[in-house]
Structure 1
Amino acid sequence: MSLSSDLNDMVDEKLKVFEDIMSNAKQIQDSVLKEILTLNANTEYLRSFLNGRSDKELFKKKVPVMTYEDIRPYIERVANGEPSDVISAKPIIGFLLSSGTSGEKGKIFPLDNKYFENIVFFTHISSLLTCKHVNGAKQGKELTFNFTKPAFTTPSGLPVSSLTSSFLKSDYFKNRPPNDVFSLTSPDKVIFCPDNKQSMYCHILCGLVQRDEVVSLASPFASVLVRAIIFLSNNWKELCSNIRSGQLSKWIKDVDCRSSVSLILGGPNLELADLIEQECSQKSWEGIITRIWPKTKYLESIVTGQMAHYIPTLDFYSNKLPFISPFYASSETMFGINVNPLCKPQDVSYTFLPNVSYFEFLLVNEVNKVEIVDLVDVKLGCYYEPLVTNYAGLHRYRIGDIVQVTGFYNSTPQFKFVQRKNVVLSVHLETTTEEQILNAVTQARSVLESSDLMLIEFTCVADTSAGGLGHYVFYWELKSKTNNANPEIDDELLVECCELLEKSLDIDYWKYRSKDGPIGALEIRVVQQGTFDSIMDIYISRGASITQYKTPICIKSAEALAILEDRILVRVFSNSSP
């Protein structure tokens, strides 16, 4: 089915605004910087460098590149009750809490209404691009796994919450116009339920009841989609019982959630319950998404960076439905949109929008040379760390991501997310990056394809705790493709995985892994099912949201490491000869 002429007209009209923005990147970036500096020139932070002036040249010359430790004292002063104009001329309405999974400790960033306006704009453009590329994308509903958790407050009374929770609880989301974005299968009360388990159960139940209307499954990160399917695999019998009886389980205690979901559940539906039971009781869950939601056209979530690890699992569950990785964002700012939503996950690039923040780029891998360029001056193929100047008080802030220029859309550069800058594994003098770790795991998991096993989660550590050689340890959580019990482990298969992990690491690793070198054989430790959920609970207890949580590539938390060590099923080492 093709788009209606009215919808076509709306898509073309809205995208024309987007095209105009992309064609005037330099002028818009200069205008954004001028507006930010004019607005904030007399804040305490900027006044110390600019003396109230707002010209670009002085900004570039006088305002230093900042890290979180540079801005933290100012943020804490506002959090403790001092006026917003310590860092921002406009009122700070709260703080965004980073997940803390990269550096083990969450950071808080000032939040203003401009950020919410940017989210709305990104969501509009992204949904329009999806409509343009996916036939019938708006002719159904989206089963979206969104979650919120209660905010905590600073001593001054300002709320602190994750990006997703902050936006979903804002009037920008609550008062969204009808049909402004994709229709959702879940009522907002399910999203606002503070208990993640009750919320997940009700999201899935609403999606099952409306299975014939679902055209897409979505979540902020691919990891959440995997957790949703595993949750379904553990709870489908109870869900079918609810559908068969027309009654919601008594353990769903949240009153608003319960009342709104009961309306969707309606009365008993024996036919639907039997159909879902028939699909879920089959030995293999291959293609379970398309078997239960047969009209599904695509999956939407971030699948770049470390989220690419979940693609093979979702391919198995979805019969390789297309992935749409819509945009690139962080607690500091929105960055870019994927203008080619149906491209392969490994080809995803994000076109930075010049109207949301002022962007500069620090060239990486340059020895004894600091080169900072504007958005329109980046060079194809080069690697950069973005610097962000936003309306809420961050100026030339180092994001800590590494991106690569892959092309241009009109006059605006496109970037591929490569890795987090600060994630490295090292036993001796070698530095193994996040990108290298992810590539090695991708290579090693190919050994599992012909088996009954799937790699669900992993993390790693440089183990130097015992006597003898330090070595890399990878913790793997495996799942059977045919049942929910802890899978049978073939040691020889895992040894092969170990060897391929090692072989996929670069020469920097092998230089010290050589005969009589300081690095010992790589090890895989298989842990019990559910272990990584327990680790996630640690971070959620510290304030992270389930929608924002990312399993740490390299584990640093002693508490999380203790959980991993307590649940080991199998240990194997590489037999590769140095």
Structure 2
Amino acid sequence: MCLSDHALSHYKRGAQAPEIVTLSHCLPLQSRSIFISSFASNMDEHKLGYKGNDVLQDLEILTMNAKAAQELILRKILEKNHGTEYLNKFMNGSTDISAFKSQVPVVTYDVVQPYIARIAAGEPSSILCGEQIVELLRSSGTSRGEPRLMPSISEDLYRRTYLYSLIMPIMNNQICRYIRGLGEGKAMYLLFVKAETLTNAGIPVRSVLTSYYKSPHFLHRKHDLYNKYTGPDEVILCPESEQSMYCQLLCGLVERQHVLRLGAVFASAFLRSISFLEQHWCDLVSDIRIGQLSSNITNSTCRLAIQSFLALPNPELADEIEAICSSESWKGILGKLWPNVKYIEAVLTGTMAQYIPMLEFYSDGKIPLVCTMYASSESYFGVNLRPLCSPKDVSYTILPNMAYFEFIPLEDGRKLIEDDEVVENDTLVSLVDVKVGCYYELVVTTFSGLYRYRVGDVLQVTGFYNRAPQFKFICRRNVILSVDSDKTNEEDLHNSVTRAKEILENRNYLLLEYTSCTDTSTVPGHYVLFWEIKSTCEGATPCVPLDAQILESCCIAVEEALDYVYRRCRAHDRSIGPLEIRLVEAGAFDDLMDLLVSQGSSINQYKTPRCIESGPALKLLNSRVTGSFFSPRDPEWTV
């Protein structure tokens, strides 16, 4: 049901939706307890059938009873896993919650990795988990450079599916007054799988999204009117990413009048697909015109799946698309190609915010940008209950049935705790006890064998929905640049680059993509930024040439926005050299993505690494450099 005008206005300001807030009170207390208990054990398959107000009622009960749900989740985890080698070291077979909180340490991946390696080599899952580990989920590997393997049990799929089942009911509950008929059209979501491998013990190693897309939970969704995709499942499941992308775009163009939603998991993957479209639209138009798939698509499954889309030549549609794509500027191209699209869905928080200006360029600022959920390879976490809010205002409500959550308070605002620092158990804060405005690092305990595991995400509490806290994603906890005593993390770098790119935008240029490295071949060493820039000038409007003075101004702006320690090292200690910006040619970052995907990353989970230390990736970027510019003066550093 749609909210009333007054209720919708109230809800968009962040309050609870009145039509659903009272549902949990309609249930007897005993029923509510049974419901919460069922979520704390196995995620029963009947939950997959919940639709619309059913899942919203679930959400109300869960968030109203967040503390009880979390206690039951932890109790069930301990009951199932107390006999594992890992927990036995600290608890001697006990299932006591207080013993868990006082004796089980907070750990990073380095502590868990040897157990996962032993299971991968053939030892029983029971050394880490009471259930059988059925797969190892490969993280993106693009935040810290090295993929990690996370244990997963069959029950985890039900948790992920439950979270997905919330997305469209939440969208409808908030926005159906403004965006009607979402179930009547189709979605062109660019979704990809990655070829999986097997460990020596025969355990599949795959990305979390590949796991989901190959599961019955995804493939048996035909009854869900909100999950009608333009691309057939066979195309989505094609492991050859470029062929899959080509076919998905082809299907989306053929169905252009029926597409109501556009998106991908991350904004980077969506923009990569638009860049691919810029390069290949002529071939796509030709396929549509003659009613025959390009011979460049060699995957037999893709070819068979596309036959029904190209049953007949369609020169009229080909002419329409050609007229749009051949225009001098691609500003607003998304609304022109898909005239009925209602919104674009992708992750746009954290460093993904870098891509908002480019999405606004391609949509001419007329298509809402929507962020819906917060998840990782370790666990799925929560949802955005205000999906139409500005990306910069997105907060995620943590769902208390996904895992057991704890938080490390960060002192002095967001002062980060390094990997090798010991985190005292009594400093951790439970899910319902976090405080609004404060910053925390996320710690998770799962059914599948992660215990008090530091996920590495820094979050800020923005409020509560019922009893469940809402968080803004701030950054990943990792130092990516350091020459001397300076320690620059992803957020520091992102904020400083954001400050500098305003200089470009004022001159009709967009920073498409960036990464960094430390160059220690000079004495002293210095920071290097690789930038790919695109002009947004249209028609006869001339652009101010990108000369050395503009790029040097950008160098200064970056340095002035970095922290005091960096600026002191630069200007006083002289232990860091002037910052350098290396411009790279168009398409360099697409080539970087292709390289990293070929080495094991997944397009779905791909995030441009914000620092590259060495190896083929750094060699590739350096081979694409078209110009180099240094900061011409010291930054201000005195307090």
TM-score by length of 2: 0.86
1:240 is paired with a residue whose SS is helix
**Residue 349 (structure 1) aligned to one of 377, 392, 395:** 395
Determine the structure 2 residue equivalent to 1:454: 510
Q: Deviation digits for residues 517-550 of structure 1, max 9, x if unmatched?
A: 2222221100122222332233223321111111
Give the superposition deviation at 1:282.
0.9
AA paired with 1:461? C
User: Contact 1:102/1:423 (CA < 8 Å) preserved in 2?
Assistant: no
CA distance in 2, matches of 1:338, 1:576: 44
**Residue 526 (structure 2) aligned to one of 467, 471, 478:** 471
User: Contact 2:51/2:165 (CA < 8 Å) preserved in 1?
Assistant: no
Determine the structure 2 residue equivalent to 1:150: 195
Q: Deviation digits for residues 267-317 of structure 1, max 9, x if unmatched?
A: 111111111111111111100000110111111010011111111000100
Determine the structure 1 residue equivalent to 2:34: none
Determine the structure 1 residue equivalent to 2:129: 88
Residue identity (%): 45
Determine the structure 2 residue equivalent to 1:41: 82
> Does 2:362 align with 1:327?
no
Determine the structure 1 residue equivalent to 2:566: 509
**Residue 499 (structure 2) aligned to one of 427, 443, 466:** 443
CA distance in 2, matches of 1:556, 1:255: 39
AA paired with 1:345? P
1:104 is paired with a residue whose SS is coil
2:155 is paired with a residue whose SS is helix
User: Contact 1:95/1:158 (CA < 8 Å) preserved in 2?
Assistant: yes
- For residues 115-154 of structure 1, the aligned pairs below 5 Å read 115-134=156-175, 135-136=179-180, 137-154=182-199
- For residues 59-208 of structure 1, the aligned pairs below 5 Å read 59-134=100-175, 135-136=179-180, 137-179=182-224, 181-208=226-253
Give the superposition deviation at 1:515.
5.0
Higher mean Cα deviation, 530-539 or 297-306?
Answer: 530-539
CA distance in 1, matches of 2:548, 2:283: 35
> Does 2:466 align with 1:421?
no
Q: Deviation digits for residues 6-44 of structure 1, max 9, x if unmatched?
A: xx9953332111111111100000000000000111112
**Residue 318 (structure 2) aligned to one of 273, 281, 304:** 273
Q: Deviation digits for residues 489-518 of structure 1, max 9, x if unmatched?
A: 433322222222222223232222225622
Determine the structure 2 residue equivalent to 1:294: 339
Give the superposition deviation at 1:451.
3.7
**Residue 430 (structure 1) aligned to one of 464, 486, 497:** 486
1:400 is paired with a residue whose SS is strand
AA paired with 1:570? G
2:458 is paired with a residue whose SS is strand
User: Contact 1:423/1:554 (CA < 8 Å) preserved in 2?
Assistant: no
Give the superposition deviation at 1:450.
4.0
**Alignment CA distance shift 1:283-1:490 (3 Å):** farther
CA distance in 2, matches of 1:250, 1:359: 51
AA paired with 2:590? D
User: Contact 2:190/2:270 (CA < 8 Å) preserved in 1?
Assistant: yes
2:330 is paired with a residue whose SS is coil
Give the superposition deviation at 1:65.
1.2
CA distance in 2, matches of 1:27, 1:560: 48
Give the superposition deviation at 1:256.
1.3
Gaps of 5+ in 2: 4-19, 21-49, 416-421, 539-543
Higher mean Cα deviation, 362-371 or 315-324?
Answer: 362-371
Higher mean Cα deviation, 495-504 or 84-93?
Answer: 495-504
2:313 is paired with a residue whose SS is coil
CA distance in 2, matches of 1:157, 1:515: 57
Determine the structure 2 residue equivalent to 1:396: 452
User: Contact 1:350/1:415 (CA < 8 Å) preserved in 2?
Assistant: yes
> Does 2:552 align with 1:495?
yes
CA distance in 1, matches of 2:2, 2:146: 48
User: Contact 1:215/1:297 (CA < 8 Å) preserved in 2?
Assistant: yes
CA distance in 1, matches of 2:573, 2:86: 54
2:52 is paired with a residue whose SS is helix
1:462 is paired with a residue whose SS is strand
AA paired with 2:624? R
Q: Deviation digits for residues 32-79 of structure 1, max 9, x if unmatched?
A: 000000011111211222222211101011111122121112111211
User: Contact 1:99/1:539 (CA < 8 Å) preserved in 2?
Assistant: no
> Does 2:52 align with 1:11?
yes
CA distance in 2, matches of 1:196, 1:152: 16
CA distance in 1, matches of 2:500, 2:306: 43
Q: Deviation digits for residues 301-348 of structure 1, max 9, x if unmatched?
A: 100111111110001001222111111111110111111101111111
1:197 is paired with a residue whose SS is helix
Determine the structure 2 residue equivalent to 1:22: 63
AA paired with 2:307? S
1:495 is paired with a residue whose SS is helix
> Does 2:414 align with 1:358?
no
CA distance in 2, matches of 1:318, 1:491: 31
Determine the structure 2 residue equivalent to 1:218: 263
Q: Say how many residue pairs are matched.
A: 570
> Does 2:366 align with 1:338?
no
Higher mean Cα deviation, 197-206 or 469-478?
Answer: 469-478
Q: Deviation digits for residues 450-492 of structure 1, max 9, x if unmatched?
A: 445322211012222223x322211011234479xxx974333
Higher mean Cα deviation, 114-123 or 195-204?
Answer: 114-123
User: Contact 2:526/2:576 (CA < 8 Å) preserved in 1?
Assistant: yes
CA distance in 2, matches of 1:259, 1:304: 38
User: Contact 2:479/2:487 (CA < 8 Å) preserved in 1?
Assistant: no
CA distance in 1, matches of 2:479, 2:385: 29
User: Contact 1:328/1:335 (CA < 8 Å) preserved in 2?
Assistant: yes
1:20 is paired with a residue whose SS is helix
Gaps of 5+ in 1: none
User: Contact 2:135/2:151 (CA < 8 Å) preserved in 1?
Assistant: yes
After superposition, the CA RMSD in angstroms is 2.1
CA distance in 1, matches of 2:227, 2:423: 47
Give the superposition deviation at 1:183.
1.1
CA distance in 2, matches of 1:234, 1:34: 54
User: Contact 1:131/1:138 (CA < 8 Å) preserved in 2?
Assistant: no
CA distance in 2, matches of 1:422, 1:342: 30
CA distance in 1, matches of 2:203, 2:572: 58
Higher mean Cα deviation, 284-293 or 425-434?
Answer: 425-434
Higher mean Cα deviation, 69-78 or 502-511?
Answer: 502-511
Give the superposition deviation at 1:180.
5.5
Give the superposition deviation at 1:100.
1.4
Higher mean Cα deviation, 185-194 or 98-107?
Answer: 98-107
Q: Deviation digits for residues 364-422 of structure 1, max 9, x if unmatched?
A: 23699841011011111111111111000111011111111111110011111111111
User: Contact 1:283/1:482 (CA < 8 Å) preserved in 2?
Assistant: no
AA paired with 1:275? E
CA distance in 1, matches of 2:2, 2:185: 13
AA paired with 2:554? C
User: Contact 1:325/1:341 (CA < 8 Å) preserved in 2?
Assistant: yes
AA paired with 1:491? A
CA distance in 2, matches of 1:262, 1:107: 39
User: Contact 1:498/1:574 (CA < 8 Å) preserved in 2?
Assistant: yes
CA distance in 1, matches of 2:51, 2:110: 45
CA distance in 2, matches of 1:494, 1:399: 37
